[in-house]
Amino acid sequence: MQVEGRGKLEIKMQAMWISLNNSCRNKMNDVICRPKKLSKQRSLDLLEEDKHEHEVLIGSKVMESVISYKQTAPSSSFKEIGVGDPSRKVIEKILGDALTNPAKKISKIRNVFRVKNSSEVLEKFEKYRDMVKQKAKETGDKQPRSLVDGNELLCFYVTTMTCHSRQSELISGPCDHSYCNLCRTICSSFDMKYTKRFGVQLCTSSEALRESMKAVLKGKNSKRAVIICRIIAGRIKNTNDRASEEYDSIRNYRGFCFKSEHLIVKSPNAVLPCFVVVLN
């Protein structure tokens, strides 16, 4: 990415950051304290470990990974942000760089939803932040933002969804379709077998986001979706850092799965979903 393009992106990211801070703080209206009641059978089903396949295209090869998770009750809900809303306008501007290239647009925004996280999810996120700040204080971390806010960043997570046609269910909460990657990710709070093994891979730039959207395969009845997240990056390991140094996330994995730069966080508790963008 050229320096000029990166600078423009950072300005837009900062605008989005202000919007996120105003919209996603730990307030009572952002917390779902009493999730909807489940039937007895549904409660039993949710206690069983569910599995679904997620296909990612890497070059000419298809990598299949089985994502496992356990969920005892819905933890979050969705609320659609209408066209013309200030938050949606900012999101559209930021994603605009990734949804277009010099030749043509590769996707269009269909819906934007705000994720209303449960008190438990918010508590885990803030506890992880406190842990990172305390660790930075004890170890003398050279990254000053780790001491201030745990080095909080704005990142993007690309996935697919199959419940896009059932808007009433999507607005009220995650669906129960075992093959809807978006809802399974939100329900599990990114705590899945795959992410436990490889970490949560996130996009930090429009270049990385564009590449990830092209890499994620969507089926006949699915749509691509982007989860806009607040993350606690903590101490970021770069490629030239010593292997023995302790870190919370890894930057610059070019050549591993993608050509562009991504950020991989080690703990699912470091990721807080804020918005979901559904693409056509």
Euclidean distance between CA atoms 51 and 184, whole angstroms: 10
d(C-alpha 175, C-alpha 87), whole Å = 24
Q: Tell me whether strands 271-279 and 109-117 are parallel, antiparallel or unpaired.
A: antiparallel
N residues, the chain = 280
Sign of CA dihedral 178, 191, 92, 116: positive
Task: Give the Cα separation of 82 and 74 in Å (integer).
Answer: 24
Return the CATH number at 111: 3.90.228.10
257, burial (CB in 10 Å: exposed 0-12, middle 13-18, buried 19+): middle
Strand 200-203 relative to strand 61-69, pairing: unpaired
Q: How many domains does the chain have?
A: 1
Structure tokens at 182: 């978006």
- Residue 164, sorted as left (phi over 0), alpha (psi -120 to 50) or beta, turns out to be alpha
Residue 233 has pLDDT above 90, yes or no: yes
Question: pLDDT of 255-270, one tens digit each?
Answer: 445 566 788 898 999 9
Instruction: Give the pTM.
Output: 0.71
Report pLDDT digits (tens) over 3-46: 444 455 555 555 555 555 555 444 333 333 333 333 434 333 33
Report for 33-47, 65-79, 236-250: range of highest mean pLDDT = 236-250
